[in-house]
Structure 1
Amino acid sequence: MKRVLLFLGTNLAIIVVASITLSLLGVGSFLDETGTGLDLQALLIFCFVFGMAGSFISLLLSKKIAKWTMKVQIIDKPRNSDEEWLFKTIERQADNAGIGMPEVGVFQAQQANAFATGASRNKALVAVSTGMLQRFNKDEIEAVLGHEVGHVANGDMITLALIQGVVNTFVMFLARVVGFAVDRIVLRNEQGLGIGYFITTIAAEIVLAILASTIVFWFSRRREFRADEAGARLGTRQGMIGALQRLKAETQVPNQLPESMQAFGITGGKKKGIKALFMTHPPLEDRIAALQNMSD
């Protein structure tokens, strides 16, 4: 599954560009009637509208950007028995999960990985790497595909967009409050908004967006357990455990997904210490243990 870092990067770019543009146009200052304070209610509404817009624009672009970034080859009509099996497996799982048939794709990568993305449960994309198709057995691949279909069926991308929209709202709001405070208290600008407000707001927005992304990463880690359960149901539990064990054995192989796409994959980069807060996936050991303890 490869989605969060790409989603966050696109979202942050949209928010920063929108903020700079609006500031240059003189929109979004939200001073009160006296010109000496902020109209917090109007500011919050403004930030909510643009925060949600940035998140959902990222969501709408996610599938196209994933195809372009990973050079995904879409299987419209299977050309051989392997593609036929892949197509039919996803078709059956989508039907069992109650979602529309996703687009099916393959991308060139030696590392074993797969991902799902898309703005709708009925118009998603599920893609798998050539490395996984070459080295994993069919039970393991079937479970991994079920994991990805589970992400789609669980509405993870929509939920992610909503969470990111709320995060955007408060990031934009707090950044402007900080910018106003610096402009008034530190730079002692007593009327209107000075250059200090705009510079501080943009800088604070970037810093707060990075810090607030830990909330999104936390959600990303939690959703992996649910998707693993879906993989066990739509495939087999032993197949899902076997796939994760094989992925664990291959952790010495460098992750060949671009960093912006690693969050969408079945496995992501491993971090320690404070960097663990920015992990998009829980440790493979924890995921395997959860499946082993899953009730039948």
Structure 2
Amino acid sequence: MTARLDQLRFPDETKLGLALLVGYMLFDASQTYSLGGWHILKWLTGTAPSVQQAGGLQLFMLVTLSAILMGWRIRLSLKGLQLRRIEEVDAKASGETAYLGTRIARDRAKFFVTANMGDTNAFCMWAGRTPWIVLGGGLRLLFRKDPARARAIVGHECAHVDVGDTQYLLVAWHVFNSYALLTIGYLVLVQAQFWLRVPDVLPAFHRQGLGLPDLLKQNAVNVFRNGFPGLIALAGLAFTLRHFARLREYRADERAAQVGLRQPLIDTLNVLTLRTLQPRWRQLVMFHPTADERAKRLSNEAFWAKPDLLFIGTLAFLATRIDEHFEGIDEASLPDMITFDDMLTFLPSAMAAHPLTTVSVMLWIVFLFIAVVNVYRASATQAKFGVTLRSRLTVALSAFAALFLGSLLGDLTSLGQLMRLSDVSTSQIWIKVADSAFSIAALTAMAGTFLLLSVSLVSSRMLKHARPLGWSQLWTLSWWTLLAVFALQLVVNIVAGLVGLAIGGGMNGWEVSWLPRSSRQDISNFPSLLQAFACFLLAVVALQVFRLWPGRPVDARANIDASWLIQE
């Protein structure tokens, strides 16, 4: 008998995350030109439409295409399968599926079987009020030859039905596919429009002493402004959806394993591993985990203790790009140097003047909150095995790097920054864009890292209590941590001021000769690009020195309440 941590007691961020992704895509479609609505209306009416008109058409196109794809996918799945109710075909298999449907899916599914006796797979689908679980005909034979493996396959699909995956994943997947088709279609439309005009424009270029290279350079600027930002956003959405889809599979495996099907499920997945070996590079882009990954997580719960840094970075990437939808913010009117208090007063005024800004800020907060839930699960699992202070600092630094890089890439690839980069008339534009992006990334990474670190510290203590840390407690903890961030910022500024006075640099500790500034310092009492990079390198060196510290690290093994453990 081994005691495993019940992973299903932790908050499930996938439902909130999938709903957030769908909301993000609908919001993006209604506020940008990235799906082709502006060009279509201009072609139909002959006049330039407004943002609201183009956004309304794009939203209609996205919703309509999603519904069409969903209906077509369901119809295609049913075509040629020759489905029959399992109780009409096989009494033994019907009894087995009825038992699993009651115990796991809580009688929420109807079972059908195909005529293909060589197919031992199963899948669930949304076909009305009651989800369907479709079994390959070969499972009828497997129930007689190896009933444990057959129960494991069906139990996994019942777990999907129990938590509503047939609805959540189906809607999110088809909205994403529709968003991808419209985004790529818009880029193709813009490029087709450009190249169809080349024969007419090229003679005029030749008369001005210009040639095809100059035309290609102009097309690069055109791509920067039209189509490329949408493709970048699409890549971020794909990696985020990939995490949620894979986590749904892991949770369905765990649900089936907790009713006594762990070893049969591992055996089944090991057989599939021998048949479907995948190279590591393909695993990075696969939305469904491989059989080998699923088997390893079922047999070794230590895989739950690893936070998904790619997912955390992607969340920061998407959260930073939300500021594309801020209205009424003229960056040119802002001074080069603003204080932290100016930021706190400016943002509420912008939210009051423009309701969409409020939506953008809330989306940004929820994105970071989902990352908090992911780290909470990983940190609690680490605590079961005994986590050291060094491990916590390493995770915190890794999360900071993921948040920082995600935010930096998100801001650099946003439409506003790409428009600035395409303006070749401005001198040193790369330095100015890099400084601005670095400031935003540093603030996002700082706030997110404190959130993740606070949850990491609390998670081991929560395992001592029978009641899990729910959504409301996590939300409250997140807000208290943000307040602590503001308080710590004041302390850091006071210390920096004292250091500045001690070495003769003035009250601003960042304005010293031995720590030079770059071309711009957006926020007073905050480091500039070169300064923050120097501090980051010092932090890395300090962490490496701490890793080599000869003393024995502090063991933070949690005294776990029995209700958190399952005996197998």
Q: TM-score range by the shorter chain?
A: 0.5 to 0.7
Structure 1 CA distance for aligned equivalents of residues 266 and 290 of structure 2: 13
Match of 2:131 in 1: 124
1:270 to 1:30, Cα distance in 2 relative to 1, 3 A: farther
Structure 2 CA distance for aligned equivalents of residues 84 and 98 of structure 1: 16
If you compute each CA radius of gyration, which structure gives the higher value, 1 or 2? 2
1:285 to 1:106, Cα distance in 2 relative to 1, 3 A: same
Moved more, 83-92 or 284-293: 83-92
2:136 aligned with 1:143, yes or no?
no
Query: Within 5 Å, which residues of 2 pair with 1:8-23?
Result: none
CA shift for structure 1 position 177: 6.1
- The answer (yes or no) to whether the contact 2:69–2:174 under 8 Å persists in 1 is no
Structure 2 CA distance for aligned equivalents of residues 38 and 245 of structure 1: 57
2:108 aligned with 1:100, yes or no?
yes
Structure 2 CA distance for aligned equivalents of residues 214 and 185 of structure 1: 29
Query: Within 5 Å, which residues of 2 pair with 1:251-270?
Result: 251=275
2:310 aligned with 1:289, yes or no?
no
Structure 2 CA distance for aligned equivalents of residues 166 and 129 of structure 1: 28
Query: Within 5 Å, which residues of 2 pair with 1:129-278?
Result: 129-135=136-142, 137-160=146-169, 161-169=171-179, 171-172=181-182, 175-176=185-186, 179-180=189-190, 182-183=192-193, 187=197, 214-215=238-239, 219-249=244-274, 251=275, 271-272=278-279, 275-276=282-283
Match of 2:42 in 1: 31
CA shift for structure 1 position 244: 1.5
1:270 to 1:61, Cα distance in 2 relative to 1, 3 A: farther
Structure 1 CA distance for aligned equivalents of residues 278 and 246 of structure 2: 13
- The answer (yes or no) to whether the contact 1:140–1:240 under 8 Å persists in 2 is yes
- Structure 1 unmatched ranges of 5 or more: 1-26, 191-203, 252-268
CA shift for structure 1 position 86: 3.2
1:33 to 1:66, Cα distance in 2 relative to 1, 3 A: closer
CA shift for structure 1 position 285: 1.8
Match of 1:86 in 2: 96
% of aligned pairs identical?
Answer: 21
- The answer (yes or no) to whether the contact 1:107–1:128 under 8 Å persists in 2 is no
* Larger proportion of helix: 2
Matched residue type, 2:296: A
- The structure showing larger relative contact order (alpha-carbon pairs under 8 Å, at least 6 residues apart) is 1
- The answer (yes or no) to whether the contact 2:81–2:114 under 8 Å persists in 1 is no
- The answer (yes or no) to whether the contact 1:231–1:237 under 8 Å persists in 2 is yes
Deviations 1:161-205 (A, max 9, x none): 134315523642563366246526862799xxxxxxxxxxxxx9x
Structure 2 CA distance for aligned equivalents of residues 167 and 292 of structure 1: 34
Match of 2:52 in 1: 41
Structure 2 CA distance for aligned equivalents of residues 124 and 139 of structure 1: 24
- The answer (yes or no) to whether the contact 1:43–1:173 under 8 Å persists in 2 is no
TM score, norm. by length of structure 2: 0.35
Matched residue type, 2:99: T
3-state SS, counterpart of residue 29 of structure 1? helix
1:163 to 1:41, Cα distance in 2 relative to 1, 3 A: farther
3-state SS, counterpart of residue 282 of structure 1? coil
- The answer (yes or no) to whether the contact 1:119–1:157 under 8 Å persists in 2 is no
- The answer (yes or no) to whether the contact 1:47–1:169 under 8 Å persists in 2 is no
Moved more, 237-246 or 127-136: 127-136
- Structure 2 unmatched ranges of 5 or more: 1-37, 202-226, 302-564
1:157 to 1:178, Cα distance in 2 relative to 1, 3 A: same
3-state SS, counterpart of residue 31 of structure 1? helix
Deviations 1:257-282 (A, max 9, x none): xxxxxxxxxxxx65436544553432
RMSD value over aligned CA atoms?
Answer: 4.0
